[in-house]
Amino acid sequence: MLTILMTMLDSEEERRYFRWLYQISREEMERTAMRILENQALAEDAVQNACCQIIRNFDMVLRVPEERRKFWCVTVAKNEAIALRRKSREHLSLDEIGDIGAVPEDTSGYEALVEVFARLPETYRATLEQYFLLELTPEEIAQRLNLTPAAVRMRISRGRKLLQELIRKEGLYS
Amino acid sequence: MTDREMDRLLRRVLLDAVQQDSAQPSGPDFAPSRRHQRQMRAMLRDPTRWVARRGRPVSLVLLQRAAMFALVTVLSLASVVSAVPSARAAMIRWAEEWAETFVIFRHSGDDDNHTVADYEITELPTGFYEEEREHLDDAMVMVSYTDGNGNYIDFTYARMTQGGATGIDWDESEDTMTEVTVKHMKGGLWKSSEEDGNDTLTWIDSKNDIQFTIVDFNRKSIDVLHMAESVKLVKTPN
């Protein structure tokens, strides 16, 4: 295990970069974990788990455009917090089961597109983040979110379809 | 737009949606414990090593904390549990579950809602003193001892009540486990073979329904078993 880890942050330059990235992301990671968990000890666990993931997957960090790396780190913390919270629940609440819904009528431009995704039900958004940003498999996501792999694949498919519909509606990127 | 371009756009949209979340109202303030601050300092000092060593004390927190929620991180480990030599019996309030890299002591029994008493290690290595004592809830206390030079010994104890658990991470290739007794009470000692590893000793006081755990990050001068033998009750709850 240690041998594998050593390849993740194997130069002083990468370690320095990680430290800088942590410093600029720390506050937002902590705030996000606390907002989701509302419990100090669990939020600390979520932040520490997230840091582990960031270190272990540092090659993934470097593939993210530089100006968005901070928010990739926040995404990791957010999803660690969601995973911790969901593991403590036996049942999903109804608002989390809710469908993705129809494409809203009042979208306009890229910002509105972002807004639509920001408002997605939690499990939809977490599924998309874990698949597209954290590069987890549907099986891994299913385990973390207490869903079936089929439900995860359905959410990924619907997320793509939603984006397609929004782009078509807005005439973006044609 | 190709599927690949579509996925790239979706990644960008998702990251920008996370950025937009920062405008949301905050939850309670994040007030980091000393333990967390210590972990973060160790991480910044040497991230790779921190990842390799992290887990033991954190897991203790996580699993016991889960008692406040319905149930528990350990359920996610069910798929990797290779053997479950249940120690549960009529008079026993815990069950051991052994996973590949994890040992979990799951607690059971009625919660009588009394606050757990104060215990302390009376024979510490020279120069060590109690730095922090944190009552996480009525059932669990975490005590940190330090020598002021970045060396720590963590002492945790928890009343065994339904839904609670204590977990110990271990690596078969690096750690050895030995059954021990502490003042005639059954326990287990996990010793790391790594030079900078730590020793973890846990034992169960069945008479008082308390599980004690010492994580020794220092491993100098006084054996962890000797420290365990010196644990004394210093204050009973009101």
Closest CA relative to residue A125, chosen from A143, A152, A105, A102 = A152
CB-CB contact of A39 with A87 (8 Å): no
Smallest CA–CA distance, residue B206 to chain A, in Å, is: 27
CB contact under 8 A, A114 and B1: no
Smallest CA–CA distance, residue B148 to chain A, in Å, is: 23
The pLDDT-based confidence of A173 (bands split at 50, 70, 90) is low
CB contact under 8 A, A163 and B47: no
Closest CA relative to residue A67, chosen from A130, A111, A25 = A25
Mean per-residue pLDDT pooled into runs of 10, chain B (238 residues): 86 93 83 84 85 54 37 28 33 61 70 80 93 79 84 86 70 78 91 76 89 82 89 84
pLDDT of residue B90: 31
Q: Is the dihedral of CA A17, A18, A19, A24 positive or negative?
A: positive
Provide the edge-to-edge strand list for the sheet that holds B175-182: B129-137, B140-146, B152-159, B210-216, B199-205, B185-192, B175-182
Using the 8-state DSSP alphabet, how is residue B105 labeled?
E
pLDDT digits 0-9 by tens, A60-76: 998 999 999 999 999 99
Integer Cα distance of A160 and A137 in angstroms: 16
For residue B195, give both structure tokens: 């030079």
A121 contacts in chain B (CB < 8 Å): none
Which of B7, B21, B48 lies closest to A118 in CB terms? B21
pLDDT of residue B45: 84
One-letter amino acid of B169:
D
Closest CA relative to residue B198, chosen from B186, B190, B210, B206 = B190
Q: Is A45 helix (H, G, I), strand (E, B) or coil?
A: helix
Integer Cα distance of B103 and B91 in angstroms: 21
The pLDDT-based confidence of A112 (bands split at 50, 70, 90) is confident
Smallest CA–CA distance, residue A75 to chain B, in Å, is: 7
pLDDT digits 0-9 by tens, A118-136: 988 888 899 999 999 999 9
One-letter amino acid of B177:
M
Q: Is the pLDDT of residue A155 over 80?
A: yes
Integer Cα distance of A6 and A86 in angstroms: 31
Looking at the DSSP bridge assignments, the partners of residue B204 are B211
Which of A15, A31, A75 lies closest to B26 in CB terms? A31
Smallest CA–CA distance, residue A73 to chain B, in Å, is: 10
pLDDT digits 0-9 by tens, B167-179: 776 666 667 888 9
Which of A18, A30, A88 lies closest to B71 in CB terms? A88
CB contact under 8 A, B54 and A117: no
